[in-house]
Amino acid sequence: MRFFLILTFSLSLFVFMTMNLKSIEKTVHTKTTTTLQGKLIVPGNRSPEGMAIIVKALDKQILPELKEFVITIKDKKLFPDLGIIPSHQEIRICNASDNGNSVNHNIYSPGPLYPFDMGIIEKTDTTGKIINPMQGKRQLNKGILSIYCSIYEGIEGHYKVVSSNERGTVVQKDGFFSFDNLPPGKYHLSVWQKEQRFNNHEITIKLPLTHRLQINLFRPRIRNSQK
């Protein structure tokens, strides 16, 4: 009987320790992240204005939670006026705290991706209003979300909506870009262009990388017509 009790206790202790080790391994795995840095090279040393990099997780990695995508209104412009928004992310539109115009705005999107009309955002309102695509369990469709102001012409922004397992970042003026807190694994990387001027660039990468990534865009080939 004593031997049976000792054996039972040993087995219980072994199971307890195994379960805790698995739990620790899982926690370490989810907390392990890396940074992806790179540079986009545009032909003729042109500016990469209007371009963004999108990465899509291929190994079912759990990507980090997202804060609100905040769009501020200042000097009759939207900041940022270009961006990548996962389909489940909330969008907040508000006046900048140092809004120089001190005027009201009426922000809307005509669709067809996600038509809405926020109504008047008061000039002193720095909290703004939220677009919550998850209300009613509805996500944004993939595509281009264009936002305008019905009071002032020229206020507009264009945003690429991607899947929930994708992340994106706008390329800086010098061509550099960076992603933080990406779990290790395989990713599909692509270049999004607001205006399609160059050939699409798509590659598969595996993180972590030991070097900075360089992406070269190329002009479309012009085929000579044969008579």
- SS3 for the chain is CHHHHHHHHHHHHHHHHHHHHHHHHHHHHHHCCEEEEEEEECHHHCCCCCEEEEEEECCCCCCCCCCCEEEEEECCEEECCEEEEECCCCEEEEECCCCCCCCCEEEEECCCCCCEEEEEECCCCCCCEEECCCHHHCCCCCEEEEEEECCCCCCEEEEEEECCCEEEEECCCCCEEEEEEECCEEEEEEEEECCCCCCCCEEEEEECCCCCEEEECCCCCCCCCCC
Tokens 């042109």 found at: 46
Counting the structural domains of the chain, the total is: 2
Domain boundary (119, 137, 164) is at: 164
Mean pLDDT over all residues of the chain?
81
pLDDT at position 219: 81
Give tens-digit pLDDT for 159-179: 999 999 999 999 999 999 999
pLDDT at position 44: 86
> For residue 134, what is the domain's CATH number?
2.60.40.420
Greatest mean pLDDT among 121-125, 150-154, 166-170 lies in 166-170
Give tens-digit pLDDT for 57-101: 999 999 988 889 999 998 889 999 999 999 888 999 998 877 655
Domain boundary (145, 164, 183) is at: 164
Which of 23-32, 129-138, 146-155, 160-169 shows the lowest mean pLDDT across its residues? 23-32
Looking at the structure, tell me whether residues 127 and 211 fall in a common domain.
no
Percent pLDDT > 70 in the chain is: 78
Over residues 188-207, mean pLDDT: 91
pLDDT at position 141: 75
pLDDT at position 20: 40
Prediction pTM value: 0.79
> pLDDT confidence of 6, banded at 50, 70, 90?
very low
Looking at the structure, tell me whether residues 173 and 157 fall in a common domain.
no
Residue 80 preceded by cis peptide, ω within 30: yes
Which neighbouring-strand residues pair with 214? 39
